[in-house]
Amino acid sequence: MKDFFNSRKPYDIADKITNEGELSADLVAHIYILMQSRDDIENPAAFFARCAYQQYNWKNSEFNRLYNPYFTSEFNDDISIEDDDIIHNDKYRDFLNDYFEQSDGSPVDWYKKELVRMWLSGDTYRTISKNTTINIRYITEAIKQFKNDVYNSFYSSSDGTDTDNF
């Protein structure tokens, strides 16, 4: 791996990903630090390219939070919606409790709510899949449906004072 970083290749890859942007060298340094903790990398160039692409393009990546001024500006902080605002909202919490207590008696409703309970308790999709032997695709769809149901039900039942108007 040292040979890879002692060459021009990581900088060329970073230049392509950032479109020769000014954060290119910072991206190389950031990925270098991430890769130092890994000793199981078979193809350093491919691994570097994938990590660099993800770190540069995902807005919530560690790299963007640390280095990219677009994602760390006060302007973007002002318009972001924090999960803590929703989680600590008493009306929202009461709504979720009522939602879980209601049941139409169908197996689909029970299935969806049990998967969501596991997910809300902190289990990942993979952990839920491993524990229940349910395909991750079905878990993803059930949780997505739950989010849509809750979002539509909560905001249609609220008086509009709980959310910001966009």
Burial 13-22 (b: 16+ CB within 10 A, else e): bbbebbeeee
> Which pLDDT score is estimated for 70?
56
Q: Are residues 137 and 152 in the same domain?
A: yes
Domain carrying residue 38: 2-78
Say how far apart CA 166 and CA 163 lie, in whole Å: 9
> Is residue 84 pLDDT above 50, yes or no?
no
Report the C-alpha dihedral over residues 105, 108, 110, 116, rounded to 10 degrees.
-150
Q: Are residues 32 and 45 in the same domain?
A: yes
Q: Are residues 87 and 61 in the same domain?
A: no
> Is residue 160 pLDDT above 60, yes or no?
no
What is the band of 86 on the pLDDT scale with cuts at 50, 70, 90? very low
> Is residue 113 pLDDT above 90, yes or no?
no
Q: Are residues 9 and 40 in the same domain?
A: yes
Contact 27, 55 (CB under 8 A): yes
Of 39, 59, 78, the residue at which a domain comes to its end is 78
Mind listing the pLDDT tens digit for each residue in 1-60? 668 888 899 999 999 998 888 888 888 988 888 888 777 888 888 988 998 998 888 877
Q: How many domains is the chain partitioned into structurally? A: 2
Mind listing the pLDDT tens digit for each residue in 59-74? 778 887 777 655 544 3
Say how far apart CA 153 and CA 99 lie, in whole Å: 9
Of 49, 78, 107, the residue at which a domain comes to its end is 78
Residue 163 lies in a domain: no
> Is residue 89 pLDDT above 60, yes or no?
no
